[in-house]
């Protein structure tokens, strides 16, 4: 059954149906998939506990829907195009049949290494086809995958392994990133020094480094799959069995493991992909995200494969060997739909049109953005110079926790307004709440963005800590899922996302909790205390500004800054590096000891003229010093 909406009128009809009769709406959507055993009930929910279940009693396997289902009609169609980091190395193409075989082969290897249904497998890999194969092989046998972005440090990796009590790591010897290579296996070895649950490590030979293998624990990928059958019966999963855990930052402490389950995630991934991108059979679709983030999970792997689409996977970075790389790849593979992050657009915009003009970009028909608000200038540049004024842009708002795109235009059908995500997808019921938690029903308003009805791919729990899920997302406002974002609704009802209202900083579309970065900074032996805020950054959207108290004022501030950055890199990874570090003798605290971040934010934004009332501070004098020393 076709689930694609083909006109704005149809969108309005479907939206109304999804609100009036949600069960019948979702039942229609879910019918396009293979269910080994049909579900008995579409949805059962309450947001108090919370307890949300979709497609109850249904049995299925997502890989059967991603792969087996397409073999008859699309067996020879390209499923995956892999474009390597180095343009001189040839691209790799896998048909649906080849991908199916490779997934089955690795699935058999995982089983023979002792992995069983329900086991957690950490995947810490470069952006190579084997990463996609590893994800799908886990899903094939019912193992729970948890992909950890390969830029995270050994510390961050071991935290995630321990939180998930994982039994296996799948990794590679190293990875290629622009002109650099990174030794992944070495990071894994270091991480495993503080992990006790890992029994096996599978190592893919990516860069030819031949690292030392620990006898009894480590095995080469090629040895593990050697002699394994190319078919593997898919494990029968319950709709509500866990499919994956993905760690993401929140406003407090350590990252939390967002849990997604099999049935609902599958239904929403395919549905949202086909509608937002208005997918046609011959599309060549490219999402430039990394599979270490939710965007890669849903819109490189699952959404496209569920839809029988050709999906492009890119190993490299936008600026290597030069800032024309994205556009060269678009021309080379005839990309029709291109989906990227505003931060990448801004970075490439800054490199100038000389890197765009050599490419014709004729194949493109639709553009997308994700991860952070896009500013007007970047939107216009993208529309004019990449889309040549003929490609609609979908600005897609969603989160790790939502599993799929929630608010976005449907490619070309919906009204488009720069920097506005637009309308919710049918099935999604966003609301704006005021301070008191009352719904604001009119337009031209601003409030806290919440969702008042469940959707199939919503977060089920935070792994190992359901209470945390409850208080993070369901306790702020009774009977609502709280997104952590503030938003406006314009006179036409289009949503515009403003950004986080909690202590989360969005750097280049990557989420970090201020507490998480402060903890990392505090791990430096000279640091007594620190406070971190975000500030507007031209390319990254937000940059990290750290106010740091050391045991004594450093003699050489530059050296101390480097040491602190090194500590953050060790604790989390290079992506969490503070842009600015200011040494201070005190922090603005209330009498109850709470840091007044509002003041620090103003200073970081370079706007110290109006700091508001500071008389309630424990020591108002520290503020003058902070303002004086601001960078």
CB of 373 to ligand WTA, least distance (A): 4
Binding to ligand WTA (CB under 6 A) within 496-535 occurs at 497, 499-500, 506, 511
Binding to ligand WTA (CB under 6 A) within 314-333 occurs at none
When binding is defined by CB under 6 A, the residue of 398, 453, 474, 545 that contacts ligand WTA is 398
Which CB atom, from 245 or from 294, has the smaller least distance to ligand WTA? 294
Which CB atom, from 370 or from 469, has the smaller least distance to ligand WTA? 370
Which CB atom, from 324 or from 447, has the smaller least distance to ligand WTA? 447
Q: What single-letter DSSP state applies at residue 94?
A: E
CB of 298 to ligand WTA, least distance (A): 8
84 binds ligand WTA (CB under 6 A): no
Which CB atom, from 338 or from 583, has the smaller least distance to ligand WTA? 338
Residue whose C-alpha is closest to residue 409's, from 26, 10, 14, 11 = 11
Task: Give, for 514, the enclosing helix (H) or strand (E).
Answer: helix 514-522
- CA dist 540 → 30, 104, 251, 318 (Å): 38, 40, 20, 14
Q: What angle do CA 568, 573, 574 make, to 5 degrees?
A: 90
Residue positions counted in the chain: 631
Residue whose pair of structure tokens reads 């997308």 in the numeric block? 368
Beta carbons of 105 and 131 less than 8 angstroms apart: no
Question: Is the alpha carbon torsion for 304, 305, 311, 317 positive or negative?
Answer: positive
Question: How far is 295 from 308, CA to CA, in rounded Å?
Answer: 18
276 binds ligand WTA (CB under 6 A): no
Residue whose C-alpha is closest to residue 563's, from 543, 575, 545, 578 = 578
b/e code 554-575 from CB counts within 10 Å (16+ = b): beeeeebbeebbebbbbbbbeb
CB of 276 to ligand WTA, least distance (A): 11
69 binds ligand WTA (CB under 6 A): no
CB of 518 to ligand WTA, least distance (A): 20
Which CB atom, from 65 or from 400, has the smaller least distance to ligand WTA? 400
Q: Which stretch binds ligand WTA (CB under 6 A): 20-28, 179-187, 392-400, 558-566?
A: 392-400
CB of 155 to ligand WTA, least distance (A): 20
CB of 594 to ligand WTA, least distance (A): 24
Site string for ligand WTA, 362-381 (x = CB under 6 A): --------xxxx--------
Residue whose pair of structure tokens reads 């965007």 in the numeric block? 295
3-class DSSP state for residue 163? helix
274 binds ligand WTA (CB under 6 A): no
Q: CB atoms < 10 A from the CB of 510, how many?
A: 24
Which CB atom, from 218 or from 485, has the smaller least distance to ligand WTA? 485
Which CB atom, from 95 or from 506, has the smaller least distance to ligand WTA? 506
462 binds ligand WTA (CB under 6 A): no
Site string for ligand WTA, 406-445 (x = CB under 6 A): ---------------x------------------------
Q: CB atoms < 10 A from the CB of 617, how many?
A: 18
Residue whose pair of structure tokens reads 């998939």 in the numeric block? 33
152 binds ligand WTA (CB under 6 A): no
Binding to ligand WTA (CB under 6 A) within 238-257 occurs at 248
Q: What single-letter DSSP state applies at residue 153?
A: -
Residue whose C-alpha is closest to residue 361's, from 377, 384, 341, 344 = 384
396 binds ligand WTA (CB under 6 A): yes
Please count the residues of this chain forming the interface with ligand WTA, following the rule CB under 6 A. 23
Which CB atom, from 30 or from 245, has the smaller least distance to ligand WTA? 245
CB of 510 to ligand WTA, least distance (A): 7
Site string for ligand WTA, 278-307 (x = CB under 6 A): ---------------xxx------------
Residue whose pair of structure tokens reads 């390969």 in the numeric block? 150
Q: Which stretch binds ligand WTA (CB under 6 A): 10-18, 155-163, 493-501, 584-592?
A: 493-501
134 binds ligand WTA (CB under 6 A): no
CB of 487 to ligand WTA, least distance (A): 9
**Long-range interactions of 435-442: CB distance < 8 A, separation 24+:** 437/476, 437/477, 437/478, 437/480
Question: How far is 628 from 620, CA to CA, in rounded Å?
Answer: 14
CB of 225 to ligand WTA, least distance (A): 32
Beta carbons of 181 and 207 less than 8 angstroms apart: yes
When binding is defined by CB under 6 A, the residue of 399, 462, 567, 582 that contacts ligand WTA is 399
Task: Give, for 204, the enclosing helix (H) or strand (E).
Answer: strand 200-204
Identify the burial level of 229 via C-beta atoms within 10 angstroms of its C-beta, where 0-12 means exposed, 13-18 middle and 19 or more buried.
exposed
CB of 397 to ligand WTA, least distance (A): 4
Binding to ligand WTA (CB under 6 A) within 161-190 occurs at none
Beta carbons of 92 and 104 less than 8 angstroms apart: no
Beta carbons of 432 and 445 less than 8 angstroms apart: yes
CB of 404 to ligand WTA, least distance (A): 9
Two structure tokens written together for 501 = 């209202």
Which residues of the shown chain bind ligand WTA in the complex (CB under 6 A)?
A: 248, 293-295, 370-373, 395-400, 421, 483-485, 497, 499-500, 506, 511
């Amino acid at each position: 059954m076709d689930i694609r909406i083909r006109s704005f009128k149809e969108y309005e009809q479907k939206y109304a149906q999804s609100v009036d009769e949600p069960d019948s709406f979702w039942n229609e959507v879910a019918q396009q998939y293979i269910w080994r055993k049909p579900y008995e009930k579409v949805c059962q929910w309450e947001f108090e506990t919370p307890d949300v279940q979709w497609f109850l009693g249904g049995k299925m396997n997502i890989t059967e829907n991603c792969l087996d289902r397409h073999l008859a009609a699309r067996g020879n169609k390209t499923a995956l195009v892999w474009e390597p980091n180095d343009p001189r190395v040839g691209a790799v193409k896998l048909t649906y049949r080849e991908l199916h075989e490779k997934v089955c082969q690795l699935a058999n290897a995982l089983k023979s290494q002792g992995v069983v249904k329900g086991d957690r497998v950490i995947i810490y890999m470069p952006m190579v086809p084997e990463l996609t194969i590893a994800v799908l092989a886990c899903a094939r046998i019912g193992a729970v995958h948890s992909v950890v972005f390969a830029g995270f440090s050994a510390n961050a990796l071991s935290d995630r392994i321990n939180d998930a009590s994982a039994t296996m790591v799948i990794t590679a010897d190293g990875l290629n990133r622009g002109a650099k290579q990174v030794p992944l296996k070495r990071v894994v070895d270091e991480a495993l020094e503080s992990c006790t649950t890992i029994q096996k490590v599978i190592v893919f030979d990516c860069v030819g480094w031949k690292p030392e293998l620990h006898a009894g624990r480590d095995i080469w990928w090629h040895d593990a799959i050697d002699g394994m059958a190319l078919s593997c019966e898919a494990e029968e999963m319950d709709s509500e069995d866990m499919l994956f855990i993905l760690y993401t930052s929140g406003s407090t402490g350590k990252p939390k493991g967002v849990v997604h389950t099999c049935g609902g995630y599958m239904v929403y991934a395919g549905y949202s992909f086909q509608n937002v991108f208005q997918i046609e059979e011959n599309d060549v679709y490219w999402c430039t995200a990394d599979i270490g983030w939710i965007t890669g999970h849903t819109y490189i792997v699952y959404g496209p494969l569920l839809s029988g689409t050709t999906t492009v996977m890119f190993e490299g970075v936008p600026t290597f060997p030069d800032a024309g790389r994205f556009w060269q790849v678009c021309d080379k593979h005839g990309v029709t739909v291109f989906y990227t992050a505003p931060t990448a657009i801004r970075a490439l915009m800054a490199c100038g049109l000389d890197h765009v003009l050599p490419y014709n970009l004729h194949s493109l028909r639709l553009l997308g953005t994700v991860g952070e608000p896009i500013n007007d200038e970047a939107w216009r540049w993208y529309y004019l110079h990449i889309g040549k004024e003929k490609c609609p842009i979908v600005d897609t708002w969603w989160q790790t926790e939502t599993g799929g795109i929630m608010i976005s235009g449907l490619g070309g059908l919906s009204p488009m307004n720069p920097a506005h995500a637009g309308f919710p997808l049918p099935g999604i019921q966003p609301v704006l709440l005021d301070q008191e938690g009352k719904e604001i029903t009119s337009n031209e308003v601003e409030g806290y963005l919440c969702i008042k009805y469940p959707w199939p791919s919503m977060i089920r729990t935070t792994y190992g800590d359901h209470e945390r899920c409850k208080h993070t997302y369901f306790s702020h406002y009774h009977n609502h899922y709280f997104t952590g974002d503030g938003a406006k609704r314009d006179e036409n009802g289009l949503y515009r996302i403003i950004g986080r209202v909690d202590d989360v900083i969005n750097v280049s579309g990557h989420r970090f909790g201020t507490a998480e970065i402060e903890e990392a900074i505090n791990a430096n032996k000279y640091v007594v205390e620190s406070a971190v805020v975000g500030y507007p950054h031209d390319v990254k959207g937000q940059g990290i500004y750290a106010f740091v108290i050391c045991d004594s004022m450093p003699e050489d501030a530059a050296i101390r800054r480097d040491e602190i950055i090194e500590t953050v890199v060790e604790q989390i990874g290079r992506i969490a590096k503070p842009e600015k570090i200011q040494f201070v003798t005190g922090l603005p605290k209330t009498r109850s000891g709470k840091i007044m971040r509002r003041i620090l934010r103003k200073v970081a934004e370079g706007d110290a003229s109006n700091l508001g009332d500071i008389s309630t501070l424990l020591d108002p004098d520290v503020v003058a010093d902070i303002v004086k020393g601001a960078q």
